[in-house]
Structure 1
């Protein structure tokens, strides 16, 4: 038995934190893959320093251990308390991973790759995705009204031409859409309520590029504006952040059921409670890149600074910009005490 096999067995029998020395970039993916492949601790969560590092780790892991099922969970690409929303392609990848984890997977050993910034931020609860995955196959039947209702309830945006994740278009019996996690958009060809074919197409040329056996549709936003979410948002917004006025376009838009740019930064107000990636992987072993702890400390300092800048701004300093009432950092991010509590009792490997 080699040392990594012995370590995998030992962590499965006695979960605890350990440090793995002598694992430079490239070899670290092989080492973590070897531990996971032993099957003593499943699933496994590896936390990278940043998105670039996550992409390199994923490529190395796929090359060395192609038998492992790897999912990626990137962080939002915007600043804390920003006025813009995260990129739709990134949200698509996040939702794809969350729905797969929430609905369960197959028997293949699973590795989830994420970053410090993504793990430290809270996410929508698993219950949000119950009953929200729709699978369509040629020969199946579904009314266009029901399909458009699914789009409306799961964050899709209707456009004339589908080019980005989360968009859909309807032209007679042809429905174009770009589902969460899909490599290419899909073109559904209906005859009445019968789905005749599922094809992929190029979002630039709009030409069909191939066929697909099925279409798996998932939500495309972390904020789903149904009636319950709108009521909860209105109540909590007034309770936590004070009275609203005509200079608060966020409150007015959400109250009317309209999406608003940057609305994701008030994520805690739409749901009874948020969860974390730890909740989606309650029994997972965890490994951390070298210097991941330092990255987390810097991230929490940045969150505190951005919150203070938003919270303490004066009306004069706003100079006509829309009012911004930020939620407290602990509502959207894990503090140090909760972070340590989430790691307690798990196999934890820190790379050095």
Structure 2
């Protein structure tokens, strides 16, 4: 049984989604429009006592959902009360000749290491990534190295162990998966770590462990203990290479020496794209399902399985195109990915919820309950610059008694600009720190910063989130995606003539401030006009 909802958790979200009450039970959620989907997932994470697995259709949807969850979970995500995890895709095409970035592999290995012991949290995963076959759990645990100050450390043995785990010995450590030995100092950039480590030895005892800046080589923070994960998702030990060679010869006919992959691995090297031969390094592979802790709740959007099936169709097509390359014979897709029926079987074994944007008219076979949320589709609220009353739609929307609206901007500079625009239309939006602060406050209209592209409208309570995109249309997205251009001096001058005291401005080095006007100062014997900017703390900046 799912534990009863604590009062604090129930009050932390205006949505209270029903959760399955028995292991293996599955529910349906309907009428989740716009950002209500992320809000419902965040509310479920606040109530569910275990891990929440949030599936999405693709990598882009995963990024959007993680951003939205970070906004709705607020301090809970920041403080680690409800950890927000991602399991990134390799971001390479199936059977590609390129390997994924070490930073992506680092995040994947860290997630695999944390998952089995995770008591609570949200894991966001694209369905294509969920289909990948992975190293078994004992590989990640068995190739992890825990070091603490005072431990005995044999440098030669540690060097060999790191190389077997896929680390590269270099002269100077700069990136993930590298290590260097200089006398009694071991530098290493462990997978799963944001900074490299410098381990100083006194004879064979670990004297200090410190993080350092790879650019300047200056040490930073002292640590008492560290855990180093393997450098790759497959081993490079002599035993693993021997197993790879045996499985390769059993699977592919012909002379193995004709294959670049076989020759390189036999020499202990890692050619690009070796990740797609991962099953040959292990007697048996695992999937992400094998890493999930007990009591996991799976949340699955409509169309997710269709997206998985379309991805597998693309994998099969790419396999047929490339399978005849003698130097790179390919493993069949079934050895690299789960099939659609396997995915359905594994999901069926989890307690779960399937949710849709449309309204559910009846309970469906295989689901214990169907629940429609009280969400509405936001009306057109765009500001019409050429109309007699440009903000009439949003003004009418705000005029309903008891309705609360939170406007969302993408950054501090855009927030100030949006605030000025709203004030020009007679709308007084009070800036708030985030979602939780808005809920706790009593202001009818709020303004905050969040990376949301979709808004939402709840019927009970009457509460809405309105984004910049809904106010200004696609122009906001186009501005955000446009690459930085070279400065045009004439354009800068023209912009300065349009500034009035009190206007918000964004300085590329100092951030958001307000323009106070021009001020004449004498500096070094020269009298010059300076632009005067004021910042939140009352500090002034003079720009020549």
Are residues 1:31 and 2:40 paired?
A: yes
Instruction: Say how many residue pairs are matched.
Output: 338
| Equivalent residue for 1:349, pick from 349, 353, 368 | 353
Matched ranges for 1:11-50 at <5 A: 11-13=20-22, 15-24=24-33, 26-40=35-49, 42-50=50-58
Are residues 1:93 and 2:103 paired?
A: no
> 1:269-324 CA deviation, whole Å, 9 max, x = no partner?
111111111111164221124542332122111100110011245xxxxxxxx711
CA contact (8 A) 1:18 1:348 kept: yes
| Equivalent residue for 1:216, pick from 227, 238, 249 | 227
Which secondary structure state, in structure 2, belongs to the residue aligned with residue 141 of structure 1?
Answer: coil
CA contact (8 A) 2:249 2:256 kept: no
Which residue is equivalent to 2:136? 125
Are residues 1:308 and 2:323 paired?
A: no
CA contact (8 A) 1:4 1:35 kept: no
Q: 1:17 to 1:4 in 2, by over 3 A?
A: farther
Shift of 1:159: 1.2
Matched ranges for 1:130-279 at <5 A: 130-279=141-290
Shift of 1:78: 1.0
Moved more, 293-302 or 22-31: 22-31
CA distance in 2, matches of 1:150, 1:236: 24
CA distance in 1, matches of 2:188, 2:113: 18
Moved more, 287-296 or 75-84: 287-296
Q: Which has the larger radius of gyration?
A: 2
Which residue is equivalent to 1:299? 311
> 1:148-202 CA deviation, whole Å, 9 max, x = no partner?
1221121111112212111111111222111111111112122222222222222
CA contact (8 A) 1:49 1:116 kept: yes
CA distance in 2, matches of 1:344, 1:160: 50
Moved more, 154-163 or 65-74: 65-74
Which residue is equivalent to 1:318? none
Which secondary structure state, in structure 1, belongs to the residue aligned with residue 142 of structure 2?
Answer: coil
| Equivalent residue for 1:335, pick from 328, 331, 339 | 339
CA contact (8 A) 1:4 1:31 kept: yes
Which residue is equivalent to 2:497? none
CA contact (8 A) 1:16 1:345 kept: no
Which secondary structure state, in structure 2, belongs to the residue aligned with residue 350 of structure 1?
Answer: strand
Unmatched 5+ residue regions in structure 2?
A: 357-544
Which secondary structure state, in structure 2, belongs to the residue aligned with residue 279 of structure 1?
Answer: helix
CA distance in 1, matches of 2:149, 2:241: 36
CA distance in 1, matches of 2:33, 2:88: 22
Moved more, 181-190 or 63-72: 63-72
TM, length-normalised to structure 1: 0.88
CA contact (8 A) 1:250 1:260 kept: yes
Shift of 1:212: 2.9
CA distance in 1, matches of 2:224, 2:289: 33
Shift of 1:337: 1.1
User: Higher helix fraction: Structure 1 or Structure 2?
Assistant: 1
Higher RCO by CA contacts (8 Å cutoff, separation 6 or greater): 1
Which residue is equivalent to 1:319? none
CA distance in 2, matches of 1:81, 1:270: 16
Unmatched 5+ residue regions in structure 1?
A: 314-321
Which secondary structure state, in structure 2, belongs to the residue aligned with residue 309 of structure 1?
Answer: helix
Shift of 1:334: 0.9
CA distance in 2, matches of 1:166, 1:226: 15
Shift of 1:117: 1.8
CA contact (8 A) 1:62 1:68 kept: no
CA distance in 1, matches of 2:203, 2:34: 54
Which secondary structure state, in structure 2, belongs to the residue aligned with residue 161 of structure 1?
Answer: coil
Matched ranges for 1:94-113 at <5 A: 94-102=108-116, 104-105=117-118, 107=119, 109-113=120-124
CA distance in 2, matches of 1:245, 1:14: 48
Are residues 1:61 and 2:61 paired?
A: no
Moved more, 90-99 or 135-144: 135-144
TM, length-normalised to structure 2: 0.58
CA contact (8 A) 2:199 2:210 kept: yes
